A and B are shown apart, each in its own frame.
Chain A
Amino acid sequence: MDVDLWTEKYRPQTLNDIIGQEPVVDRLVRFVKAKAVPHCLFAGPPGTSKTTAVMAMARDLFGDSFDSNFMELNASDERGIDVVRNQIKNFARAMPAGDAPFRILALDEADHLTSDAQHALRRTMESYAASCRMILLCNYSSRIIPPIQSRCVIFKFARLSDEAMLGRLKYIAKAEGVQLGTKGIDAILYLSKGDMRAAINLLQASASTGEKVTDDVIYAISGRADPERIRSMLSASREKRYHEALDILKDLTYHQGVSPVDLVQQIHREVLSSELPEQRKMNVLERTAEAEFRISEGADGEIQLTALLAFMGL
């Protein structure tokens, strides 16, 4: 049987296949055309195609000599200064293979390099600029020290829009012969919040049963509750209809198998966007955080949740 993680199977291989990041990708495409790439810093939230973009750019640029001219290091796993002084420096100073104009080194999760290790990159980026361009990838550019930022052109990757996600999900569903309805898509969008990787993972996990991918399947497989139910539970407790609130709680935990921690997190999300007066909202959020902490410390989830619901009725 053939199996793959769909996130990998459907990772765009060329810049033009990347969806919904036009402001960034259009410029990268022109760099490739000019065969001139500056050192870059790609910053943005998870699953928004930073790693994909650097690999696609290198593939577009190098073609057959991709393997010998491209190296990827995950800085989060190789975060010490010695890696920068040895492995990285050695890669950077070697001449490019074939007719490639330079090599490309991708430093993924670069915000996890220690600041010592970042300092050690400074001169390497300058001295060996002829043979190697560095592309640093990170979630927050504020964790990259100023002299390294100075050496890079900065690109911000945004969370993907619903339209971009929707198009890609439909495409994958079709290619895999998966039935995916509108409500199913809405559920995936709600749960993945602009993170394409999370969305594709969810689609694959939900499709693995072979059934049609509906919102119910998606909430079940992700172990989350339909946000409508959460809202009903919260308004019931706010209006002091405790029994009703508790019934929903029991149904969600016992019948739908939503874990207490996931429930608190969903409650959290609903409280944040609710119409509660600001001060009240903060108090509820505080209690919510406390409940989640206690549950994670081993306290009984049902008791904590019941107490939280009771607090909301005060």
Chain B
Amino acid sequence: MSRESLPWPERYRPRSLEQLVGNTDTIRTLREWISSWRREIPKKKAILLIGPPGVGKTASIGALSHDLDMELVEFNASDKRNKGSIETTVWIAATQQTLDGRLRIIMLDEVDGLSGTSDRGGVGAILNVIAESVHPIVMTANNPSSPRLKDLRKNSLVLVFEPLEPSNVMGVLKRIADSQDALVKDKILEEIAERSAGDLRAAISDLEAILRGGFPLEGELPSRDIKRNVKEALSRLFMTTDSVAARRVVSEADVDHESLLLWLEQNVHLHLRSTKELEMGFEALSLGDLTLGRIMRKQNWKLLSYVYDFLSAGVATSRQESPFRHVDYTEPNWPLMVWQGNRKREKKTQILTKLAKFTGVSVRRGARTHQDTIERILEREPKLKGAFTSWLGIKSVAFDRSRSAR
């Protein structure tokens, strides 16, 4: 497989530190710390690189092992990392010398991706490995406030990678465009760089997609920045006091109701500034929350549409006197995915399993997207039952059973 055919972020993955841009001081500190292992084992035997996606955390470790001629052993979130597997594989790599006497860099990539369930005991095991290691251990993570990092932080040197400067992103994009013999207007490169918010991997992907697929029609690249998307939606939501407009803003916003609720709770007071407005706004939020609770209890998703009413129209129309102003929204300070785990599993019936196979829709949604239609057809034309059952390859009683189950 040639390098040519790789997606560009991999094709242009830096092989040497010289090819990395930005975060120069941080990368220098990292290099010095690893080099120091040649002289003696330092006090802190692990380093933790924290920073957003696509800024060179993983890439700098790869480049360093090349430049310093050290062996690299990698463990990442795609590996099982519970207590047992770390105490065997990682421990062996960390505590034994290499065959040729070189140093070995132990990369524990994506440690904030240690799974709470599958990787039980992982953090404790890593701490033990750090204590015993004769090689430098380098960890990476995105989320500085991940609770899984608490103990790891205490036992390592922490280095922060910042989002890359637009000028750095532009530089790399230009180099790549040149190497492709592609003429791209600076304005387009600037727009890519701006949209990437310092994520160079995303910027390189977008450049690849544009050079190969053409520029998106509306002249706008979709943004990956969830926070920015939510903030833009909030701002547009509060700009209007019209319920229909508010509803439209939210339905076009690509923000799910759970995130929306949390962001609103954190920020409505910035726009609803009188006591009365605030009271109304929170009443709308509380109705939204109440309805969400009702949905969750019985999986009655038909009510979801009301949640959106309360969270869009309800909140926006509460602003009756305070003039609209641009404000800085703050991120909700509790996790966004709290409700996700509470979902009750729905019954898998034979019909749904088969339908899922044929239509690409999950078993969970099959009843809504397809089974209802079939049942409606059969209600009118019972004769067709045989035909449907043979198409789906199921026994015809399955239909009767699913009827009585619902």
- Which of B116, B294, B376, B388 is most buried by chain A, counting CB atoms within 10 A of its CB? B376
A175 to B185, CA, bound (A): 47
Q: Which A residues between 8 and 25 are near B, CB-CB below 8 angstroms?
A: 8, 22-23
Contact B224 A142, beta carbon cutoff 8 Å: no
With an 8 A cutoff between CB atoms, is B167 at the interface?
A: no
B25 to chain A: closest CB distance in Å?
23
Q: Which A residues between 216 and 261 are near B, CB-CB below 8 angstroms?
A: 221, 261
B251 to chain A: closest CB distance in Å?
9
- Given contacts A36-B212, A89-B78, A197-B369, are A149 and B115 in contact (CB under 8 A)? no
With an 8 A cutoff between CB atoms, is B300 at the interface?
A: yes
A240 to chain B: closest CB distance in Å?
24
Residue of A at shortest CB range from B337? A115
- Given contacts A142-B259, A289-B306, A293-B291, are A116 and B117 in contact (CB under 8 A)? yes
Contact A289 B287, beta carbon cutoff 8 Å: yes
Contact A34 B302, beta carbon cutoff 8 Å: no
From the candidates A36, A76, A154, name the one contacting B365 in the complex (CB within 8 A). A76
Residue of B at shortest CB range from A1? B387
Contact A7 B209, beta carbon cutoff 8 Å: no
- Given contacts A39-B7, A151-B9, are A142 and B216 in contact (CB under 8 A)? no
From the candidates B7, B80, B380, B383, name the one contacting A129 in the complex (CB within 8 A). B7
Contact B213 A292, beta carbon cutoff 8 Å: no
Contact A142 B229, beta carbon cutoff 8 Å: yes
Interface-lining segment among A117-125, A163-171, A182-190: A117-125
A56 to B287, CA, bound (A): 43
Q: Which A residues between 241 and 288 are near B, CB-CB below 8 angstroms?
A: 261, 265, 268, 272-273, 278-279, 281-282, 285-286, 288
| Chain A residues within 8 Å of B244, by CB | 272-273
- Given contacts A3-B391, A205-B373, are A77 and B363 in contact (CB under 8 A)? yes
With an 8 A cutoff between CB atoms, is A180 at the interface?
A: no
| Chain B residues within 8 Å of A221, by CB | 376, 380
How many pairs of residues, A versus B, come closer than 8 Å at their CB atoms? 262
With an 8 A cutoff between CB atoms, is B52 at the interface?
A: yes
With an 8 A cutoff between CB atoms, is A306 at the interface?
A: no
A282 to B316, CA, bound (A): 11
With an 8 A cutoff between CB atoms, is A215 at the interface?
A: no
Residue of B at shortest CB range from A262? B302
A150 to chain B: closest CB distance in Å?
4
- Given contacts A268-B306, A278-B317, are A154 and B224 in contact (CB under 8 A)? yes
- Which of B341, B377, B381 is most buried by chain A, counting CB atoms within 10 A of its CB? B377
Contact B208 A38, beta carbon cutoff 8 Å: yes
Residue of B at shortest CB range from A145? B142
A84 to chain B: closest CB distance in Å?
7
| Chain A residues within 8 Å of B287, by CB | 286, 289
With an 8 A cutoff between CB atoms, is B370 at the interface?
A: yes
Contact B213 A154, beta carbon cutoff 8 Å: no
Contact A209 B381, beta carbon cutoff 8 Å: yes
B241 to chain A: closest CB distance in Å?
7
A280 to B10, CA, bound (A): 56
Interface string of A57-84 (1 = CB under 8 A from B): 0000000000000001011110001101
With an 8 A cutoff between CB atoms, is A201 at the interface?
A: yes
Contact A130 B5, beta carbon cutoff 8 Å: yes
Contact B205 A152, beta carbon cutoff 8 Å: yes
- Given contacts A205-B373, A208-B377, are A156 and B78 in contact (CB under 8 A)? no
A95 to B313, CA, bound (A): 52
From the candidates A30, A146, A278, A286, name the one contacting B213 in the complex (CB within 8 A). A30
Interface string of B83-115 (1 = CB under 8 A from A): 000000000000000000000000001101101
From the candidates A122, A205, A209, A288, name the one contacting B306 in the complex (CB within 8 A). A288
- Given contacts A39-B7, A150-B199, are A272 and B309 in contact (CB under 8 A)? yes
Q: Which B residues between 224 and 271 are near A, CB-CB below 8 angstroms?
A: 224, 226, 229-230, 241-244, 247, 254-256, 259
A84 to B113, CA, bound (A): 13
| Chain A residues within 8 Å of B340, by CB | 114
With an 8 A cutoff between CB atoms, is A27 at the interface?
A: yes
A80 to chain B: closest CB distance in Å?
8
From the candidates B115, B201, B309, B313, name the one contacting A81 in the complex (CB within 8 A). B115
With an 8 A cutoff between CB atoms, is A5 at the interface?
A: yes
A101 to B2, CA, bound (A): 10
A76 to B317, CA, bound (A): 36
| Chain B residues within 8 Å of A31, by CB | 212-213
| Chain A residues within 8 Å of B243, by CB | 272, 278, 281-282
- Given contacts A36-B212, A147-B53, A289-B306, are A282 and B313 in contact (CB under 8 A)? yes
Residue of A at shortest CB range from B388? A3
A278 to B316, CA, bound (A): 10
From the candidates B142, B205, B247, B383, name the one contacting A146 in the complex (CB within 8 A). B142
A47 to B360, CA, bound (A): 11
With an 8 A cutoff between CB atoms, is B46 at the interface?
A: no
A151 to B8, CA, bound (A): 11
- Which of B78, B80, B205 is most buried by chain A, counting CB atoms within 10 A of its CB? B78
| Chain A residues within 8 Å of B209, by CB | 27, 38, 153
Q: Which A residues between 118 and 147 are near B, CB-CB below 8 angstroms?
A: 119-124, 126-127, 129-131, 133, 140-143, 146-147
Which residues of A pack against B, CB within 8 Å? 1-5, 7-8, 22-23, 26-28, 30-31, 34, 36, 38-39, 43, 46-47, 51, 55, 72, 74-77, 81-82, 84-85, 89, 95, 101-102, 108-109, 111-112, 114-116, 119-124, 126-127, 129-131, 133, 140-143, 146-147, 149-156, 197, 201-202, 204-205, 208-209, 221, 261, 265, 268, 272-273, 278-279, 281-282, 285-286, 288-289, 292-293, 296
Instruction: Give 4 closest A-B pairs by Cβ, nearest first.
Output: A119-B113, A27-B213, A76-B362, A150-B53
Could you pull out 21 A-B pairs where Cβ atoms are within 8 angstroms?
Answer: A38-B212, A74-B362, A119-B113, A121-B77, A122-B77, A123-B77, A130-B1, A141-B226, A143-B256, A147-B142, A153-B208, A155-B222, A205-B373, A208-B380, A208-B384, A209-B380, A268-B306, A272-B309, A281-B317, A282-B317, A285-B314
Q: A36-B7, A76-B364, A202-B373 are in contact. List 11 more A-B contacts (CB 8 A).
A: A5-B359, A5-B374, A7-B370, A72-B360, A81-B118, A89-B78, A109-B362, A111-B256, A129-B6, A278-B243, A292-B306
